Chain A
Amino acid sequence: MDYSEDSDNDLYRRFAAGDRKGYTLLVERHTDKFYGLAWRMSGHNQDAEDIVQDAFIKIWQRPELFNPDKGVKFTTWFYRVVVNLSLDKMRKKKPKSASDFLESIQDDAQGADDDLADKQKQAAIELAIQSLPERQKVALNLCFYEGVSNAEAAEIMEVGVKALESLLMRAKKNLKDHLLRDDQIKEVVHG
């Protein structure tokens, strides 16, 4: 049976009723997206893999945790799961340095074409973003990099839209202040 046209919530419904293909298709559709968020939250390849794996184990073990009939999109709910697992993991780890981020970026084959200066700049940006307060970082990652709307990001974070927008504004101000201290990218920020 072809489920490829089914919505995520329909797939989840099938999975919760014992149809494993529903689960497999959700993995197929969304692994890249959830890994991206987990990486942006943790800044570390292995941590991001562990977070996504833990999130999928959670729904496999307890599919009743999400009710697809309550009007919430599966991805909205699962983003929340990934964010919460990421925050739990990060709280247990010591803060990373720019060289940690550089190593993580260099480990990934996708970045092989960028030169070292670009990677160093990316590591500096990563360090600045990772130094943001938790909620500002979550808001920035969801709205700027995951492409979710402000309304959905607010739903994921369980705050109002105004509060979300305020978090974004503060995140950008903090980032600008932080990045202005970096000689390599100060010129770019000033324009």
Chain B
Amino acid sequence: MDNDNSDDPNLDALLAQRYSPAAPKGLKAALKTIPERVPAKISLWQDVLNIYREIFAAPLPAMAVAASLVLGVWCGLEAEMLLEIADQDVTSVFIDIENISEEWL
């Protein structure tokens, strides 16, 4: 620690007597079970991308990302997050979203 914040020894000595809390014994165990208790919002999406990358050794095509983006946003995921995970160029994805819209509508 590179702090030198001691300018009043009496006050510092008093502050050193402050109560020092210890984490409850069960807390670590409870935190470790979060993965079982709380579903990860993006794990499925990430699994799909990882499998695709392993098989084709390439990022997901922009069209597929665009489709996933639309579905993902519908599912409550954030667009920025999906794009970051997919390593996609925003412009190309939005062009594809327009294409999808035209084809679908």
Contacts and interface: CB of A to CB of B under 8 A. Distances in A.
Contact of A53 (B1, B31, B50, B84): B31
B64 interface: no
B43 interface: yes
Interface of B: 1-3, 5, 7-11, 13-15, 17-24, 27-28, 30-32, 34-35, 38-43, 46-47, 50, 81, 84-85
B23 A35 contact: yes
Contacts of B43: 18
B31 A145 contact: no
20 contacts: A17-B50, A18-B43, A18-B47, A24-B32, A28-B28, A32-B22, A32-B23, A36-B20, A45-B24, A49-B24, A49-B27, A52-B31, A57-B38, A60-B34, A60-B40, A62-B42, A64-B42, A108-B22, A125-B18, A168-B5
B11 A175 contact: yes
B23 A36 contact: yes
A63 B15 CA distance: 37
A53 B37 CA distance: 12
A18 B50 contact: yes
B34 A57 contact: yes
Interface of A: 17-18, 20, 23-24, 27-28, 31-32, 35-36, 39-40, 45, 48-49, 52-53, 56-57, 60-64, 101, 105, 108, 110-111, 118-119, 121-123, 125-126, 129, 143-145, 147-151, 165, 168, 172, 175-176, 179, 185, 188-191
A8 to B, nearest CB: 15
A125 B31 contact: no
A64 B42 CA distance: 9
Contacts of A52: 23, 27, 31
B85 to A, nearest CB: 6
A148 B41 CA distance: 32
B19 A18 contact: no
Nearest to B30: A53
B13 A36 contact: no
A48 B21 contact: yes
A31 B46 contact: no
A122 B47 contact: no
A52 B24 CA distance: 12
Nearest to A20: B35
Contacts of A32: 22-23
Contacts of B15: 125, 144, 175
A129 to B, nearest CB: 7
